[in-house]
Amino acid sequence: MDPLAFDGQVAIVTGAGGGLGRSHALELARRGASVVVNDLGGGVDGAGSSSSAAEHVVDEIRRAGGEAVANGDSVATPEGGAAIVECALEAYGRVDIVVNNAGILRDAAFKNVTPELLDPVIDVHLKGAFNVLRTAWPLMREQNYGRVVNTTSGSGLFGNFGQSNYGAAKAGLMGLTRVLSIEGARNNVRVNAIAPIAHTLMTVGQIDEAMAPELISPLVAYLCHGSCEITGQAYSVGGGRVSRLFLGMTTGITEADLSAESIATRMDEIDDTQDFVIRW
């Protein structure tokens, strides 16, 4: 097939100063997109800020013959999210693609989670996607075209010890993905999610170095392309493997006089996964 190109399109990639976001930005730019490289430049926990990370990626893109601008606004506030989109409009006049990738970690067992560990994680991951899309969404609807990729996680879909804050945020992003896929359908706005497995600063010591971020970005590029009609789906991706994630519902039981006791005696039937319906 012909190469999937993005000539004339404008992409916003949040958290693109390193790791997965950098890889996504480079891949989209290599394929012809003009990219807004957004990164606050803080640490893994979200503390601090620096423009150098985003600017370095922009330099990489330009040296390779691509087009990009750096942006250092925070996704964690409505004002910051709007400013990121305004940066794209000022530089290129439109927005076609949003890749919500920005993220931080503040891991702790649930008994130790304080507001200082919870709120910033929700603000960056979940509210961050809201904050960027609230300004980009009307533009996509008006032009009857848009592609959105949200970054969920196995921690949110399957659970992981010490990541109640992170997992809750990532599960919320899956809910957002599903709702926006429905609301965007009539205006040719496709919204999907990825659950990446890759070696980055956020996963040092947890993920093997062979699981390179560059092995995630081809899926992002496909989901961002105009030829992709898929919407409302989630994909696990890492190390060259791509698989669909889905939500299923068992056949279960139906009783006119349902009671706690009847449920207790028929839980094996309720839990039986031999027959199920895929809901998404």
* Percent of the chain with pLDDT strictly greater than 90: 89
At what angle are helices 217-224 and 19-30 packed, to 10 degrees? 50
Distance CA 236, CA 224 (A): 16
pLDDT at 207 over 70: no
The CATH class of the 10-245 domain is: alpha beta
Indicate whether 49 pLDDT > 60.
no
- Give me the pLDDT at residue 201, please: 67
pLDDT of residue 203 exceeding 70: no
92 is a catalytic site residue: no
pLDDT surpassing 80 at residue 74: yes
User: CA-CA distance, 247 to 86, in Å (whole number)?
Assistant: 36
Q: Give the global pTM.
A: 0.93
pLDDT, average across residues 229-234: 98
Q: Which of 145, 166, 222, 235 is catalytic?
A: 166
DSSP code of 201?
Answer: G
pLDDT at position 211 is 80
The CATH 3.40.50.720 portion of the chain extends over 10-245
pLDDT digits (tens, 9 = 90+) for 82-121: 999 999 999 999 999 999 999 999 989 999 999 999 999 9
